């Protein structure tokens, strides 16, 4: 099929279950909520080499947060509950509590599965319970006043690895299309792009270096298109970007995939959009592009 | 002494040796160089709970980088050489190589001690050597073209834990002073603030919870000033921020401490600026505020 | 009354009728829509010395604009219809049509009163009619492709001069409160703050310089509080900011006044919030703070 | 000649004398200095339809300004001294003095020709003289404290209309190259790009509408390339951007032209870079691209 003149391949993204946790970070202004969110979700592009996957889901106005201050919602993903809890604890302790004027709130109050994130012992006995916007929090005296936070967070079985590939006739075209995609995905609740744009695709293992667990996926590399027999790069494509999406449910992945592809297809110079899978035997979730659009 | 009406205490910051590595990240524009730098230096506020300490040193114009593109210089710090190398490898592999249009270059070409950061095996045999701006690099075919990078980086014995404390009559005053300080420190080469502003100070251990390795330093907490006998918070101070600085040498710590304090002192509502130490027995470096100013 | 510990005076803002026009500017991405909007609404703080009053109303996602691209809605205000039309024509011609990838759409399609903004003669005969998202537009060939725009815009009798004053114990407190106010007002549709924060208040005429049409309103100047008999600056206040709001109707002024005051009142160090009027004889609109809150 | 694979035509930019004034705006932080500078230089793309041409020259660190605060240098250009003075007065009065925490300083202290910008009458007798960083200023009590400013500014005979054209195989390529050019030009002192990127070129008069003083320059329009006999758009070019540069002297125009072209030529997909002139009979300045590079 075609969308705004761009070929959309009849392919599907193959994705995997992953535990997910949403944290609402507020601060005296958007700038500092964003700063804490950025620090807390850094070094978290891919669970392959990073301790977890994390990213900003959306900005929240002061009318949308428990304490009536500007906020940012962030999402953390990990394969196991234990790893997820460990990372949420470490990242809130080191990268949010330490930041100016922050507070944190549970972003999944209706979730049945829950994890404890007990930071209040840091108060060394000076901490106390405090209700904020109907939430039961701990207030911990720190240098710039009080850090306030909930300590019990809902988690849900979400999905990691939703994806689509944007193939453009040049690097600027493909890059502006990828930017348009992630700008559109920011508007969709329940998901985030941890990279946010992926410039290098991997295959499992290596043909040449047996000690490497993963190497470049030569089939998607335009610069060596002529040397690779089964290249997936069409003629005239000079740059490919992948958008990888983690979401709290199937609906979030579908809607963000749709919004991202529509936005990308409007940028001049995009030739083809497709999705990535492993033949369908590995991941239980399949997101077919034609069905979604 | 007084500076712009602010009392500067006759105190010193006590700091520690730390191995340090500078990486120059370039991209098609400043936005994407900054994006890669931010991702690569996230989850790196403090070596206590994060894998390393890292931050942005400065922006580089296209005339200042080996490949003539806009760039960002980042600094990584760790206690040991092995840990430093491991973190630089992981963060460049996961958070820079994967980002759109990036290239990386050694930021300490004159350093004698060096580490290898061998990413070119990712090319699975399609990689090749390429000289860029006089630098010997590897070019690795990836989806958006080629990732280009040096693979040998200088490291030096730098310093972690330079610091000063800003005490203000209110949270907005102290926060704007802290912002002014870090804005000024951005202009000083050879250093970075990993947090960048610290809102919560720690003491070693705990009086109440024996299982805690570190807890809030109640002496610096304005909200419990009346309950703490040996409080270091002067009357009328409602917020304290610490600026922690890691630098490649003593000169960088001195100059950034000076520039940061001067900038902070110009913001209305700042009462006192001091520095933090452990009595002088732990860290070999001492930075006396009066001497520096 | 008190709000979050801040005294809210029982005062009202006195405001005036003004013709108003909303233009939706879209572009290839948010950055360039914002750039065009900023240029088009510059030099437009106050109708006293500027050709008109103008500002950004809100950002629009790609799902909210006629052409499915990211957009910015801007509002223009002027006392007379002729002046309003002249300014919209000039500013769209010089500051939007000339900017990369822009398109413009009528932001008040239901308004009965309308103005023509005929830019298509610029096409010198190469222009042609084109329908975009159900809107009848002109497409004009330009250097970067085609500029697309509607040429008939709704206007309504709006209101200029909604206002409130934030009085803080220090400049940083008052400034962060003013920032919080305008951040909150951005969320309210139908209004904009042209300054956006006013640091200098005026009175009509002068006591000393008879040739001056307006001079500083000494009653609101903290630094000369002791020299002015009828000062309106309470003791302990060192900085005052005014938020001036132009809106398309009374509801927009009321809602933005409410949202702005609530947000400002949450910043530490704010003593008093009040409103400005001329005794009630000049402006037909009165916005009483207590009634609004 | 070729530069990074891009054809550079042997053409020259034809430019004109223009009076120029530099104003240094400082504030409590870079954000507010930039806000004032943006407002003061808005609605100032082209002297054809705007009251003057204006733009940001560069950011200044706190070590580079008279009052030791962060600053922004802005440049104003107008054909006549009287018009220049009128615009500087209006824009400083309405868009800088009214903004939070601002101060202004003469940015051309060595210039022989000078204009008065007497804002101190606004103080209505409460104003007083004050020396800041060796500059003789007026301090005017306003709501957020004191506005401080010099009132005598150097002006020089500068140059308006330096230019070059970037022609790309697609809109994203040309746009990213234009962005790269203006990013590089920001590094060059003594000049600014008022648009900053021009998407629509004009010719004098009209072939079809005799009442129009200027219309689209069809020779530079890719979308009607096939209909225009003497098109200057090469085959395969889909988007053209012009960078227009105003500078304080010939050196600034030359250096910014060079830096901008070098940066633009590095973006993939750029086919040709040229310059615009009127045959050489109108403007006394000629900037030949080959000579400059």
Share of chain C above pLDDT 70, in %: 100
- D112 touching C, CB under 8 A? no
Q: Are B198 and B221 in a shared domain? A: yes
What's the pLDDT tens digit per position in C17-67? 999 999 999 999 999 999 999 999 999 999 888 999 999 999 999 999 999
Pair B169, B253 in one domain: yes
3-state secondary structure of B59: strand
pLDDT value at position B110? 97
Rounded Cα distance between D189 and A207, Å, is 52
CB C236 within 8 A of CB C271: yes
| Full 3-state SS string of chain C | CEECCEEECCCEEEEEEEEEEEEEEECCCHHHHHHHHHHHCCCCCCCCCCCCEEEEEEEECHHHCCCCCCEEEEEEEECCHHHHHHHHHHHHHHHCCCCCCCEEEECCCCCCCEEECCCHHHHCCCCEEEEECCEEEEEEEECCEEEEECCEEEEEEEEEEEEEEEEECCHHHHHHHHHHHHHHHCCCCCEECCCCCECCCEEEECCCCCCCCEEECHHHCHHHHHHCCCCCCCCCCCEEEEEEEEECCHHHHHHHHHHHHHHHHCCCCEEEEECCCCCCCCCCEEEEHHHHC
* Whether D180 and B28 lie within 8 Å, measured CB to CB: yes
Within 13 Å, how many C-alpha atoms sit on residue C8's CB side? 22
The residues of chain D scoring below 50 in pLDDT are: none
- Which residue's structure tokens are 């250093």? B191
What DSSP designation does B235 have? T
Q: Are strands A6-8 and A270-274 parallel, antiparallel or unpaired?
A: parallel
Read off φ and ψ for residue D14, nearest 5 degrees: -105, 125
- Helix count (H) and strand count (E) of chain B? 5, 17
Tell which of B55, B93, B214, B216 to mutate to test the A interface (max A CBs under 10 Å).
Answer: B216
Beta carbons of A28 and C184 less than 8 Å apart: no
As a whole number of angstroms, the distance between CA D194 and CA D130 comes to 33
pLDDT for A145:
98
Domain boundary among C123, C156, C189: C156
Burial code of A145-157, b = ≥16 C-beta within 10 A, e = fewer?
bbbbbbbebbbbe
Instruction: Look up the domain containing A284 and give its range.
Output: 2-14+158-292
Å between D3 CA and nearest CA of chain C: 22
pLDDT for C83 equals: 97
Contact C50, D94 (CB under 8 A): yes
For residues D8 and C292, give the distance between their C-alpha atoms in angstroms, rounded to a whole number: 63
Considering the domain architecture, whether residues C204 and C108 belong to the same structural domain is answered as no
pLDDT of A282 reads: 83
Domain tally for chain D?
A: 2
- Residue D256 half-sphere exposure, CB side, CA atoms within 13 Å? 32
Per-residue three-class SS string for D14-70: EEEEEEEEEEEEECCCHHHHHHHHHHHCCCCCCCCCCCCEEEEEEEECHHHCCCCCC
- Rounded CA-CA distance A193/A55 in Å is 6
pLDDT (0 to 100) of residue C193: 98
Are residues D209 and D126 located together in one domain of the fold? no
Question: Does residue C205 sit in the same domain as residue C277?
Answer: yes
Pairing of strands A145-149, A135-142: antiparallel
Distance from CA of B26 to the nearest CA of A (A): 14
Closest residue in C to A29 (Cα–Cα):
C180
Last residue of a domain, one of C105, C140, C156: C156
Contact A268 D170 (CB under 8 A): yes
Contact status of C282 with chain D (Cβ, < 8 Å): no
Q: Is D89 on the interface with B (CB under 8 A)?
A: no
Pairwise CB contact (< 8 Å): C206 & D124: yes
Question: Are D109 and D230 contained in the same domain?
Answer: no
Let me know how many helices (H) and strands (E) chain D has, helices first.
5, 17
pLDDT (0 to 100) of residue C286: 97
Q: Is A229 on the interface with C (CB under 8 A)?
A: no
Mean pLDDT to the nearest integer, C208-219: 96
Is the Cβ of D94 closer than 8 Å to some Cβ of chain C?
yes
- Residue B104 β-bridge partners: B25, B149
Is C68 in contact with A30 (Cβ distance < 8 A)?
Answer: no
CA angle A28, A31, A32 (to 5 degrees): 55
The CATH number of the domain holding residue D144 is: 3.30.70.520
- In chain C, pLDDT over 90 holds for what percent of residues? 97
Asked if A210 and A284 sit in the same domain, the reply is: yes
Shortest CA distance to C51 belongs to which of D96, D117, D90, D54? D90
Residue D281 pLDDT: 85
pLDDT of residue C228: 97
Domain match, D83 and D181 both: no
Which one-letter DSSP state was computed for residue B100?
Answer: T
Instruction: Choose among B156, B165, B48, B148: nearest CA to B102.
Output: B148
**Is C62 in the D-facing interface, judged by CB distances under 8 Å?**
no
Is the confidence at residue B36, as pLDDT, over 90? Answer: yes
Contact A97, A142 (CB under 8 A): yes
Euclidean distance between CA atoms C93 and C71, whole angstroms: 18
Could you tell me which chain A residue has the CA closest to the CA of C30? A183
Last residue of a domain, one of B156, B191, B215: B156
A164 and A277 housed in the same domain: yes
Taking residues C149-157, what's their average pLDDT? 98
**Is the omega angle on the peptide bond into residue B253 within 30 degrees of 0, that is, cis?**
no
Walk along chain A (293 residues) and give the pLDDT tens digit of each residue.
Answer: 999 999 999 999 999 999 999 999 999 999 999 999 999 999 999 988 899 999 999 999 999 999 999 999 999 999 999 999 999 999 999 999 999 999 999 999 999 999 999 999 999 999 999 999 999 999 999 999 999 999 999 999 999 999 999 999 999 999 999 999 999 999 999 999 999 999 999 999 999 999 999 999 999 999 999 999 999 999 999 999 999 999 999 999 999 999 999 999 999 999 999 999 988 888 899 999 999 99
Whether D177 and D278 share a structural domain: yes
Confidence of residue C237 (pLDDT cuts 50, 70, 90): very high
pLDDT at C278: 87
Q: What is the pLDDT of residue B117?
A: 97
Q: Helices D171-185 and A171-185: crossing angle, nearest 10°? A: 90
Domain identity same for D26 and D142: yes
Is C33 touching D (CB cutoff 8 A)? no
- Residue A117 and residue A187 share a domain: no
Binding-face residues of C in 174-193 toward B, CB within 8 A: 175-177
Residues 37-56 of B with CB under 8 A from A: 38-46, 48-51
Q: What is the mean pLDDT of chain C?
A: 97
One DSSP character per residue, D122-167 reads: GGTT--EEEEETTEEEEEEEETTEEEEE--EEEEEEEEEEEEEEEE
**Confidence band, pLDDT 50/70/90 cuts, at residue B208:** very high
> What confidence score (pLDDT) does residue D241 get?
98
| Closest alpha carbon within chain A to D180 | A172
Mean pLDDT over C184-206 rounds to 96
Rounded CA-CA distance A110/A113 in Å is 9
């Amino acid at each position: 099929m075609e969308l705004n003149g761009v070929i959309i391949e009849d392919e599907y993204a193959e994705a995997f279950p992953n535990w997910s946790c949403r944290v609402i970070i507020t601060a005296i202004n958007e700038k500092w909520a964003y700063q804490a969110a950025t620090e807390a979700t850094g070094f978290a592009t891919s669970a392959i080499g990073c301790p977890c996957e994390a990213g900003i889901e959306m900005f929240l106005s002061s009318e949308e947060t428990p304490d009536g201050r500007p906020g940012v919602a962030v999402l953390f993903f990990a394969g196991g509950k234990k790893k997820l809890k460990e990372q949420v604890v470490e990242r809130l302790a080191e990268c949010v509590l330490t930041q100016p004027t922050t507070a944190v709130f549970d972003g999944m109050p209706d979730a049945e599965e829950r994890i404890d994130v007990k930071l209040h012992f840091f108060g060394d006995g000076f901490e106390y319970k405090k209700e904020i916007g109907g939430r039961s929090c701990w207030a911990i005296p720190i240098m710039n006043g009080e850090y306030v936070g909930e300590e019990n967070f809902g988690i849900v079985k979400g999905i990691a690895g939703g994806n689509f590939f944007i193939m453009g006739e040049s690097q600027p075209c493909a890059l502006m299309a990828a930017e348009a995609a992630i700008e559109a995905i920011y508007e969709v609740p329940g998901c985030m792009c941890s990279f946010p744009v992926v410039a290098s695709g991997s295959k499992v293992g290596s043909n040449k270096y047996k000690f490497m667990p993963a190497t470049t996926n030569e089939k998607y590399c335009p610069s060596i298109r002529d040397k690779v027999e089964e290249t997936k790069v069409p003629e005239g494509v000079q740059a490919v970007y992948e958008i990888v999406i983690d979401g709290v449910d199937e609906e979030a992945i579908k809607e963000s995939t749709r919004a991202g592809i529509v936005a990308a297809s409007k940028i001049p110079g995009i030739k083809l959009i497709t999705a990535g899978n492993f033949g369908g035997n590995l991941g239980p979730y399949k997101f077919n592009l034609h069905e979604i659009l």
